[in-house]
Amino acid sequence: MDEDWVIIVFAAAIGAGAGYAIVGFYATVHLIQAGADWSVSHLGLPLDPRWAAFLLVPVGLGVARWMRFALAGGGSGEMVPTLMVSVARQRGELPVLRTLAKVFCAAVTLGAGGSLGAEGPVALAGGTVGSGLAQLFRFRANRTKVLLGCGAAAGISAAFNAPIAGVMFALEVVLGTFTVTALSPVVVASVVGAVVSRAYLGSHPSFDVPTEFLLVSVRQLGFYLALGLATGLVAVFFVRIFYLALDFAERMPVPWLGPPLVGGLLVAAAGFVHPQLLGPGRPGIQMVLFGQLAGLLALAVALLKGVTAGLTMGGGGAGGVFSPSLFVGASFGSFFGLTIQSLFPGLGIRPEAYALAGMAGVLSGATFAPLTAIIIVFEMTNDYGLILPLMLVCVVSYVLARGLNGDSIYTLALAREGEKIRPGVDRSVLESVSVRECYDRDPDVVTEDAPVRDLLNRLRRSRQTDFPVVNRDLELVGVLSYPELARAVAQEDMGGLLLAADLMLEDMETVSPDETLLEAMRKMGVRDLDFIPVVEGDGSHRLLGMLGRSHLMEAYETHVMFSD
């Protein structure tokens, strides 16, 4: 059987396994919730959930914290960064038992009323299925990473009934690549995961939308542009207040008792103010969409949700930040829409539409995953009418939040632990490897006085797409691109008259052998270069060779494969 078909078959099996794992995870959460309610009733305490939370949340966080350190090896309670580290640094391999213990910690956290989401645990559970199966059959590192991504996609697909969003999440956040090699198996796994979850959890959208929304007027795009800017700022606030609250809870005296007790009691107190501050917040999103949570109350709840989520994780809990960010976005979007409606009553503004766009905007700005945010809100509501505003809000929010924060809520969690990782790539590796180790010392070179017509045949079979142009002293004077060369030769009346110096680009980026691969990647990204000249540096333009993207990635993968 062809290797690609083998991967597809494994992807389907992983999708099914992840789907059943997610069904089991939700069943475990419900079982813990039922057990907590039974315990409260038999202790003779008030049955009002708001009072019971003062007991259940601290106890749940204490149990989850103990499990996290005793069974799951400690570390952060966030889930998605674990997947990112595995892909970038650990060849896609996850310690199955420890990882599943961490998933169970999340079930305890959610079952006790912790203010985190289920998407992180389900993505990690699915990724563990994929990674475990790949390790069992001894797949190569690149295939193991893809199969881990298949499991993560199936997990998100099954949890939110959103197969396309599951694919985008795996490619955009976990794997950091949109290559065809990864796309096909990830799609298969996501589809199978959705089929399994629908058989047990139903096929309805995650949220009921009261009506279908259409973009009534192009003029409203201006309001959505403003919403994009506003949600970008809200996303930055959400990320920062989340980690401030997390640090506050973690730094309580008496490490094993202080964080869960103080964090749990504060979360319970917030839940006493408004019940939707407990748990992931999905019922609260539904209330926003039906106008039952609006105005200043919605704004206040939106601002507090980041605090309760941070306190939950800092208190010892584990879970995802996906759902809390959706809740924050929906609440703030509703407030924004009501404000615009009161200012412009004759424009037919629907605050619910702004709530949906706000969900996507804050998610995009917090996670740096605009494609995932666009698709997941579209799939969760099954309403295509808002696709244009969703796209505008998500991109604007992402650009603004990235400019202000620099790190997403996931990569910031890793940076706080000394890990320099972005989706699919370990930045610390790029910083530790120099250009000297991997550039091509014998590239195809062009002299500045070479006739263009003669160059085409000589360079036709070269692997390069950009060629350094040198003078008689072998100093770099410019770069000539193959497409520009071919266009010049196609003009028969000009091809015989031109020299390389006439077509070369003189304003160019260069690197020296002592620069790191990270610096080289940034310079290549400035102008979307596939090749960049390597010169001696220190003011010298003497050409030493060429560095291509393929050289860079080969050096990166070699370092990752053979490093401890």
Q: Are residues 262 and 394 in the same domain?
A: yes
Q: Are residues 189 and 238 in the same domain?
A: no
pLDDT of the residue at 189 = 93
Please check the confidence at residue 461 and state whether its pLDDT lies above 90.
no
Q: Are residues 227 and 187 in the same domain?
A: no
The 10 Å Cβ neighbour count of residue 58 is 24
Q: Are residues 188 and 226 in the same domain?
A: no
How far apart are alpha carbons 518 and 408 in whole angstroms?
Answer: 19
pLDDT of the residue at 39 = 77
Strands 540-548 and 531-537, how do they pair?
Answer: antiparallel
- Average pLDDT of the residues in 7-18: 91
pLDDT of the residue at 495 = 47
- The per-residue pLDDT for range 477-521, each reduced to its tens digit, is 888 887 777 777 666 555 456 787 887 888 788 888 888 888 888
- The per-residue pLDDT for range 239-295, each reduced to its tens digit, is 999 999 999 988 888 777 888 899 889 998 888 878 888 887 777 777 777 777 777
**Residue 350, token pair as written in the block:** 């629907």
Domain presence at residue 213: no
Q: Which of 199-208, 246-255, 342-351 has the lowest mean pLDDT?
A: 199-208
Q: Are residues 229 and 192 in the same domain?
A: no
> 336 falls in which pLDDT band (50, 70, 90)?
very high
Q: Which of 4-13, 66-75, 112-121, 337-346 has the lowest mean pLDDT?
A: 66-75
pLDDT of the residue at 564 = 42
Q: Are residues 134 and 242 in the same domain?
A: no
- The per-residue pLDDT for range 24-77, each reduced to its tens digit, is 998 999 998 888 877 777 766 655 667 788 888 899 888 988 888 888 777 777
More confidently predicted of 261 and 212: 261
108 within 8 A of 315, measured Cβ to Cβ:
no
Strands 476-481 and 540-548, how do they pair?
Answer: unpaired
Per DSSP, the three-state class of 179 is: coil
Q: Are residues 421 and 442 in the same domain?
A: no
Q: Are residues 117 and 49 in the same domain?
A: yes
Nearest residue to 405 via CA among 239, 229, 169: 239
Q: Are residues 417 and 444 in the same domain?
A: no
The total number of structural domains that make up the chain: 3
Domain presence at residue 207: no
How far apart are alpha carbons 276 and 295 in whole angstroms?
Answer: 15
Q: Are residues 416 and 488 in the same domain?
A: no
- The per-residue pLDDT for range 403-445, each reduced to its tens digit, is 998 888 888 888 887 777 666 565 666 777 888 888 888 888 8
More confidently predicted of 282 and 118: 118
Domain presence at residue 357: yes
Structural domain including 498 reads: 433-562
